[in-house]
Amino acid sequence: MSAALTEQPLFAVQNLRVAFGHGGQYSEAVRGISLTVNHGEVLGIVGESGSGKSVGMLASIGLQAETARVTGSVRFKGRELVGMPRRELQKLRGSRIAMIFQDPLSSLNPVMTVGWQIAEALLLHNHDMTKKSAMQRAEELLSLVAIPQPDRRLHQYPHEFSGGMRQRVMIAMAVANDPDLLIADEPTTALDVTVQAQIMQVLADLQKRLNLGLVLITHDLGVLAGHADRVAVVYSGEIVEQASVEDLFVRPSHPYTRGLIASIPNMAVERDRLFSIEGTPPVLGKLPGGCAFHPRCTMAQDICRRLAPPMRGTASHIAACHFTDLPERHL
């Protein structure tokens, strides 16, 4: 899973902010996220539902709601995406940048065959391709994501596929045009454990074969443990910790990260009940003062209520906590 290092990141997000509202009244759902993804690297983004991880990544490629206000910088292969004309963004999305959405059933058109939907994604970005060659390529893609009998499945409709098979179809559509960056938003949601493992293996195989930069958005740290190179932990619209996957699990530095890891069921540890983080995430637009996590944090002191902690640490491991044991050098 080692990342192919380049002088310039494939994808670089700097101080991304996303706010929703109307009439001049806005509330920020994403509050200054910064991250990078290199060629051939898997970046995991983890956090509770409503933390802003999906909204941030959607907005980074221009898929925010019309009522959203996006500021900051998002650079893909050196090109600035924030403020890019819609027509240019549309040329990038689906060709150089691809996304797998959360719900494959609602993302697929129920009245079009699976094969034609994949072929349509090919024809949209390859104007010299014929319909016949697009359907042939669609069959190859179904085979690539390990769908049995792709020649027959090609002519079936989404409702004739299981949840795991529909997810494979979404993956096939996403990689149809050999993208450089793939964003997978909760690709294993609502799937049983066996199918989850199969889907993640398909993604891992494709990522290595195509040397993709992969952003894996999830609330499941267990999924990231075996597949990510680095992990960004998001809480209340901010990244509170970022580290290599090994360092994050061995030496978590933010109380929220430690709480998430402690919440993973562990048969080797005897407990009367499963651990859970006390309280609930703050409501959008009603953030507490200081550190956003302090109302739920067992380590909170007066300084946590007064001052938002700076991000600090090393180039390979950073966290935003007044009491982290990472170096004092602020980043």
State yes or no: pLDDT of 216 exceeds 80: yes
- Shared domain check, 241 and 114: no
State yes or no: pLDDT of 330 exceeds 60: no
State yes or no: pLDDT of 255 exceeds 60: yes
State yes or no: pLDDT of 39 exceeds 60: yes
H helix runs in the chain, sequence order: 53-60, 86-92, 104-107, 114-125, 131-144, 150-153, 163-174, 193-210, 221-225, 245-250, 255-262, 302-306
Which residues are bridge partners to 73 per DSSP? 14
- Shared domain check, 128 and 146: yes
Give the pLDDT confidence score for residue 88 in this predicted structure. Answer: 93
The pLDDT of 176-204, averaged and rounded, is: 88
State yes or no: pLDDT of 331 exceeds 70: no
Query: Per-residue confidence at 328, pLDDT binned at 50, 70, 90?
Result: low
Cβ-Cβ contacts under 8 Å for 102 (sequence gap 6 or more) = 54, 185, 186, 189
Q: Which of 130, 154, 176 is the last residue of a domain?
A: 176
Written as one string, the DSSP assignment of 142-199 is HHHTT-SSHHHHTTS-GGGS-HHHHHHHHHHHHTTT--SEEEEESTTTT--HHHHHHH
State yes or no: pLDDT of 124 exceeds 60: yes
- Helices and strands (H and E) in the chain: how many: 12, 12
Q: Which of 161, 176, 191 is the last residue of a domain?
A: 176
Contact 182, 207 (CB under 8 A): yes
Mean of the per-residue pLDDT values of the chain:
90
Give the pLDDT confidence score for residue 286 in this predicted structure. Answer: 86
Which residues are bridge partners to 11 per DSSP? 37, 76
Determine the Cα–Cα distance for residues 318 and 324; give it in Å rounded to an integer. 9
Give the pLDDT confidence score for residue 3 in this predicted structure. Answer: 44
Q: Are strands 238-244 and 317-320 parallel, antiparallel or unpaired?
A: antiparallel
What pLDDT, in 10s, does the model give residues 219-243?
888 889 989 999 999 999 999 999 9
The count of domains in the chain is 2
- Shared domain check, 9 and 150: no
- Shared domain check, 212 and 82: yes
> How many C-beta neighbours within 10 Å does residue 88 have?
12
State yes or no: pLDDT of 62 exceeds 60: yes
- Shared domain check, 160 and 11: no
- Shared domain check, 218 and 91: yes
Determine the Cα–Cα distance for residues 247 and 258; give it in Å rounded to an integer. 12
State yes or no: pLDDT of 208 exceeds 50: yes
> How many C-beta neighbours within 10 Å does residue 211 have?
12
Determine the Cα–Cα distance for residues 78 and 148; give it in Å rounded to an integer. 40
Question: What is the share, in percent, of the chain residues with pLDDT greater than 70?
Answer: 95
- Shared domain check, 62 and 83: yes
- Shared domain check, 152 and 199: no
Domain containing 113: what range? Answer: 109-176
Q: Are strands 25-37 and 11-22 parallel, antiparallel or unpaired?
A: antiparallel
Q: Is residue 84 part of a domain?
A: yes
Report helix, strand or coil for 309. coil
Determine the Cα–Cα distance for residues 197 and 183; give it in Å rounded to an integer. 18
State yes or no: pLDDT of 5 exceeds 50: no
Give the pLDDT confidence score for residue 268 in this predicted structure. Answer: 67
The pLDDT of 99-107, averaged and rounded, is: 84
**CA 208 distance to own-chain centroid:** 18
The pLDDT of 279-299, averaged and rounded, is: 90
Q: Which of 253, 273, 293 is the last residue of a domain?
A: 273
pTM for the model: 0.90
**DSSP for residue 93:** B
- Shared domain check, 220 and 72: yes
State yes or no: pLDDT of 2 exceeds 60: no
Residue 124 exposed, middle or buried by CB count within 10 Å (0-12, 13-18, 19+): middle
State yes or no: pLDDT of 329 exceeds 60: no
- Shared domain check, 201 and 63: yes
Least confident of 49-63, 188-202, 292-306: 188-202
The pLDDT of 134-152, averaged and rounded, is: 94
Q: Which two tokens stand for residue 314?
A: 């090393």
Query: Per-residue confidence at 173, pLDDT binned at 50, 70, 90?
Result: very high
The pLDDT of 107-111, averaged and rounded, is: 92
